[in-house]
Amino acid sequence: MTTAFDTSFAATGHPPAAPGRQWVNSFSALGPEFHTRLEPRPLASPYWVGRNHALARELGLEDSWLESAEMLDALTGNQPLPGASPIASVYSGHQFGTWAGQLGDGRAILLGEIETRSGCQEIQLKGAGPTPYSRMGDGRAVLRSSIREFLCSEAMHGLGIPTTRALCVTGSDAPVRREEIETAAVVTRIAPSFIRFGHFEHFAHRNQLAQLKTLADYVIDRFYPDCRQAAHPYAALLQAVSERTAHMAAAWQAVGFCHGVMNTDNMSILGLTIDYGPFQFLDAFDPGHICNHSDEQGRYAYNRQPNMAYWNLFCLGQALLPLIDDQEHALAALGSYKTVFPGALQARMRAKLGLVDERGGDTELIEDTFRLLAANKVDYTIFWRRLCGFTAQSGHEPVRDLFFDLESFNAWALQYSDRIRHADGAQRADLMLKHNPKYVLRNHLGEEAIQAAKLKDFSKVDTLLTVLQSPFEEHPGHDSLAGFPPDWAASIAISCSS
Which residue ranges make up the site for ligand AMP (CB under 6 A)?
Answer: 103-107, 133-134, 137-140, 261, 265-266, 275, 277, 496
Q: Which does 43 bind (CB under 5 to 8 A by kind): Mg ion, ligand AMP, none?
A: none
Q: How far is the CB of 401 from Mg ion (least distance, A)?
A: 41
Residue 104: which of Mg ion, ligand AMP, none does it interact with, CB under 5 to 8 A by kind? Answer: ligand AMP
Give least dist CB 266 to Mg ion, A: 5
105 binds, among ligand AMP, Mg ion, none (CB under 5 to 8 A by kind): ligand AMP
449 binds, among Mg ion, ligand AMP, none (CB under 5 to 8 A by kind): none
324/494 with CB nearer ligand AMP: 494
Residue (199 or 442) nearer to ligand AMP, CB: 199
Site membership for Mg ion, residue 105 (CB under 5 A): no
Specify the residue, 51 or 140, whose C-beta has the smaller distance to ligand AMP.
140
Select 154 or 275, whichever has its Cβ closest to ligand AMP. 275
Residue span binding Mg ion (CB under 5 A) among the ranges 223-231, 271-279, 424-432, 442-450: 271-279
Task: Determine if 275 is a binding residue for Mg ion (CB under 5 A).
Answer: yes
User: Which one of Mg ion, ligand AMP, none interacts with residue 447, CB within 5 to 8 A by kind?
Assistant: none
Please report how close the Cβ of residue 437 comes to Mg ion at its closest, in angstroms: 26
Question: Which residues form the catalytic set?
Answer: 265
Scan residues 240-269 and list those touching Mg ion (CB under 5 A): 266
Q: Taking a C-beta distance cutoff of 8 angstroms, is the pair 5, 84 a contact? A: no
Taking the complex as a whole, how short is the minimal distance between the CB of residue 185 and ligand AMP, in angstroms? 12
Of 70 and 275, the one with the shorter C-beta distance to Mg ion is: 275
The site partner of 42 among Mg ion, ligand AMP, none (C-beta below 5 to 8 Å per kind) is none
Q: In whole angstroms, give the CA distance from residue 318 to residue 195.
A: 17
C-alpha to C-alpha distance for 220 and 275, rounded to whole angstroms: 23
CA separation for the pair 447, 455 (Å, rounded): 13
Q: CA–CA separation, 406 vs 151, rounded Å?
A: 37
Closest approach, Cβ 82 to Mg ion, in A, equals: 29
Size of the site for Mg ion (CB under 5 A): 2
Is position 89 an interface residue for Mg ion (rule: CB under 5 A)? no
Residue 191 φ/ψ, nearest 5 degrees: -160, 155
- Shortest approach of ligand AMP to residue 95 CB, angstroms? 7
Q: Which residues bind Mg ion (CB under 5 A)?
A: 266, 275
